[in-house]
Amino acid sequence: MVKYTSLSYFSCMNKHNFSAGPSILPQEVFQQGAQAVLNFNDSGLSILEISHRSKEFYAVVDEAVELIKELLSLPEHYKVLFLQGGASMQFDMVPYNLLPEGGVASFLDTGVWSSKAIKEANKFGQTSIVASSKEDNYSFIPKEYTIDASATYFHITTNNTIYGTELLEFPSSLIPMVADMSSDIFSRPMDFSPFSLVYAGAQKNLGPAGATLVILREDILGKTGRDLAAMWDYRTFIKENSLYNTPSVYAIYICLLTLRWLKAQGGVVEMERRNILKANTMYAEIDRNPLFYGQVNTEDRSRMNAVFRLHDETLEDKFMTHVKEYGIVGIKGHRLSGGFRASMYNALPLESVEVLVGAMQEFEKMQ
């Protein structure tokens, strides 16, 4: 058997990846994942070909679930699932499982992803929007609003990748609360006890595209009056430990490797310390540099996604060419918000932020 010896490739990579997702993951996770493609746990089989019904993969899922519970300090009665379809599938699956016909789902509208969730929920019941920052291009998080106490649940999006806002403090709600945490879960300690259901696409802080994390209380299920299709019923996957059908085996395995890395680094407490430092470094330069400006209210700035623009927009292409010389990739802003976006997820090192800051300072000198 030929031994795989080319993992040194990873050590010579010099890119600084600010992509919003799929995003940067720890280099050691890439190395371990690449090795497992050739030989998983010295089994002589690739992780890509092992059975999802094998005891080896059962062990992967079980360890991943236990690490999630530990890292997030989840209350014991919460269930943890690995599903597919990304957060977008959850825009349908949540109301399908929770919202009775004629029922009302209440939403805080803070960006594109919350507005898409609202659109899908309207297909299963009614929706009410307690507050929205849409008219101001989602440049802030609404603070003053009243949650409809008669609604079935209240939905928030904790971090808004496109417009660069984040809820660092969660609202209190007398009705079940649901959260899309796709882009800031595992980035800081959070109290999950107020939430009845949380979902997150993996491809930011947890793993690669292809896996979706769902955390929920089982007591909220089975109340819609619908005869639910098996593949769209959370209870199906609770009963089968996420293995009702063939799951995203490789994506879940990479999630496990990332969770191990997270724990070894010091967990979400250490991630928050690093993420605050990265965000402060980035925003300090945006505020200092006369060429650039931030796009959202200062108090609502996301630690995960810093969005910013040039005062002179004719310089955008020149700046994009400039940063390529530094090995910087993935900072072009979303087509809806324009400008630039520096996504600073857990695996992005402070060094990469410092390189981008240096590139911005050098660009300033060139003008």
Considering the domain architecture, whether residues 243 and 313 belong to the same structural domain is answered as no
Task: Identify whether 17 is part of a domain.
Answer: no
Task: Identify whether 245 is part of a domain.
Answer: yes
Considering the domain architecture, whether residues 215 and 107 belong to the same structural domain is answered as yes
* Active-site residue (options: 204, 233, 278, 300): 204
Q: What per-residue confidence (pLDDT) applies to 233?
A: 98
Residue 352 CA to residue 218 CA, distance in Å, equals 41
Task: Identify whether 122 is part of a domain.
Answer: yes
Considering the domain architecture, whether residues 240 and 279 belong to the same structural domain is answered as no
Residue with tokens 């911005």: 360
CB 155 within 8 A of CB 104: no
Residue 312 CA to residue 316 CA, distance in Å, equals 8
* Active-site residue (options: 113, 184, 233, 278): 113
Range of the domain at 305: 267-366
Considering the domain architecture, whether residues 361 and 239 belong to the same structural domain is answered as no
Residue that terminates a domain, selected from 264, 286, 305: 264
Considering the domain architecture, whether residues 71 and 201 belong to the same structural domain is answered as yes
Task: Identify whether 322 is part of a domain.
Answer: yes
Residue 113 CA to residue 275 CA, distance in Å, equals 23
The secondary structure of 249-295, three-state, reads HHHHHHHHHHHHHHHHHCHHHHHHHHHHHHHHHHHHHHHHCCCEEEC
Task: Identify whether 33 is part of a domain.
Answer: no
| Catalytic site includes residue 332 | no
Q: What per-residue confidence (pLDDT) applies to 8?
A: 39
Q: Tell me, what CATH number does 187's domain have?
A: 3.40.640.10
**Local confidence pLDDT in tens for the 367 residues of the chain:** 333 334 433 444 579 999 999 999 999 999 999 999 999 999 999 999 999 999 999 999 999 999 999 999 999 999 999 999 999 999 999 999 999 999 999 999 999 999 999 999 999 999 999 999 999 999 999 999 999 999 999 999 999 999 999 999 999 999 999 999 999 999 999 999 999 999 999 999 999 999 999 999 999 999 999 999 999 999 999 999 999 999 999 999 999 999 999 999 999 999 999 999 999 999 999 999 999 999 999 999 999 999 999 999 999 999 999 999 999 999 999 988 899 999 999 999 999 999 999 999 999 999 9
Task: Identify whether 30 is part of a domain.
Answer: no
Burial of 18 (0-12, 13-18, 19+ CB in 10 A): buried
CB 92 within 8 A of CB 227: no
| Catalytic site includes residue 62 | no
Task: Identify whether 11 is part of a domain.
Answer: no
| Catalytic site includes residue 261 | no
* Active-site residue (options: 109, 180, 233, 300): 180
Considering the domain architecture, whether residues 341 and 210 belong to the same structural domain is answered as no
Residue with tokens 């299920």: 221
Task: Identify whether 113 is part of a domain.
Answer: yes
Residue 14 CA to residue 11 CA, distance in Å, equals 8
Q: What per-residue confidence (pLDDT) applies to 336?
A: 86
Considering the domain architecture, whether residues 290 and 199 belong to the same structural domain is answered as no
Peptide bond into 176 cis (omega under 30): no
Considering the domain architecture, whether residues 182 and 204 belong to the same structural domain is answered as yes
Residue that terminates a domain, selected from 207, 235, 264: 264
Considering the domain architecture, whether residues 155 and 248 belong to the same structural domain is answered as yes
Residue that terminates a domain, selected from 212, 229, 264: 264
Considering the domain architecture, whether residues 183 and 304 belong to the same structural domain is answered as no
Q: Tell me, what CATH number does 318's domain have?
A: 3.90.1150.10
Considering the domain architecture, whether residues 148 and 184 belong to the same structural domain is answered as yes
Considering the domain architecture, whether residues 188 and 63 belong to the same structural domain is answered as yes
- Looking at the 3D structure of the chain, how many domains does it have? 2
